[in-house]
Amino acid sequence: MVRKTMTSYLEKRRFTGPIFNLPDFTPAIIICLPALNEPRLLATIQSLAQAKRQYADNVLVTVLFNHSEDAREEIKDANQEAFSNFAEAVDKYQASGFRIMSSLMELPKKHAGVGLARKILMDEGVRIFALSGKEEGILAAMDGDSTLAPNYFSAIGVFFETHPKLEAASIHFEHPLPENELERNAIIQYELHLRYFVEAQKMAGLPTAYQTIGSSMAVRQKAYQLQGGMNKRKAGEDFYFLQKFARKGTLGKLTTTTVYPSPRISDRVPFGTGRAMGKLLADDPELQSHALIIFDQIKQLFDQMPLIWDKKSSEIRQDTMAFPLAVQDFLAENNFLERVLDAQKNTASQAAFLKRFYSWFDAFLMMKYVHFARDNYYPDVPIGDVAHQFAVREWNYSEKTKDLEDLLKTYRLADINSF
3-state secondary structure string across 144-199:
CCCEECCCHHHHHHHHHHHCCCCCEEEEEECCCCCCCHHHHHHHHHHHHHHHHHHH
Contact residues for 374 (Cβ-Cβ < 8 A; gap 6+): 290, 291, 294, 380
CA distance 59 to 37: 25
Choosing from 263, 289, 315, the residue where a domain stops is 289
Number of domains in the chain: 2
Per-residue confidence (pLDDT) for residue 199, from 0 to 100: 98
Residue 159 has, within 13 A of its CA and on its CB side, a CA count of 29
Query: 19, 34, 30, 32: which is closest to 57 by C-alpha?
Result: 30
Q: Which residues pair with 100 in a beta bridge?
A: 61
Per-residue confidence (pLDDT) for residue 1, from 0 to 100: 38
For residues 146 and 40, state if they share a domain: yes
**Residue 385 resides in a domain:** no
Per-residue confidence (pLDDT) for residue 418, from 0 to 100: 77
Per-residue confidence (pLDDT) for residue 268, from 0 to 100: 44
For residues 18 and 111, state if they share a domain: yes
> Which CATH number is 249's domain given?
3.90.550.10
For residues 157 and 104, state if they share a domain: yes
**Residue 46 resides in a domain:** yes
For residues 329 and 229, state if they share a domain: no
**Residue 155 resides in a domain:** yes
Q: Which residue range(s) make up the domain with 37? A: 2-289
Cα dihedral 380, 384, 387, 391 in deg (nearest 10): -150
For residues 281 and 302, state if they share a domain: no
**Residue 205 resides in a domain:** yes
CA distance 183 to 390: 24
The bridge status of strand 29-35 relative to strand 381-382 is: unpaired
For residues 277 and 322, state if they share a domain: no
For residues 191 and 315, state if they share a domain: no
For residues 161 and 266, state if they share a domain: yes
For residues 193 and 314, state if they share a domain: no
In Å, what is the CA distance from 398 to each residue of 210, 324, 338, 412?
A: 26, 30, 44, 16
For residues 136 and 225, state if they share a domain: yes
Per-residue confidence (pLDDT) for residue 401, from 0 to 100: 79
**Residue 410 resides in a domain:** no
CA distance 251 to 245: 5
For residues 243 and 162, state if they share a domain: yes
**Residue 397 resides in a domain:** no
Mean pLDDT (the chain) is 93
Per-residue confidence (pLDDT) for residue 7, from 0 to 100: 64
Per-residue confidence (pLDDT) for residue 345, from 0 to 100: 95
**Residue 403 resides in a domain:** no
Count other Cβ atoms within 10 Å, centred on residue 386: 23
Q: What are phi and psi of 138, to 5 degrees?
A: -115, 130
Question: What is the side-by-side strand order in the sheet with 251-260?
Answer: 98-107, 59-68, 29-35, 138-141, 217-220, 168-173, 251-260, 147-148
For residues 271 and 338, state if they share a domain: no
The pTM of this model reads 0.91
**Residue 312 resides in a domain:** yes
Per-residue confidence (pLDDT) for residue 284, from 0 to 100: 61
Choosing from 248, 266, 289, the residue where a domain stops is 289
CA distance 195 to 210: 9
Per-residue confidence (pLDDT) for residue 263, from 0 to 100: 87
Choosing from 267, 289, 311, the residue where a domain stops is 289
Cβ atoms of residues 117 and 39 within 8 Å: no
Q: Name residues of the chain where pLDDT drops below 50.
A: 1-5, 267-274, 276-277
Per DSSP, the three-state class of 104 is strand
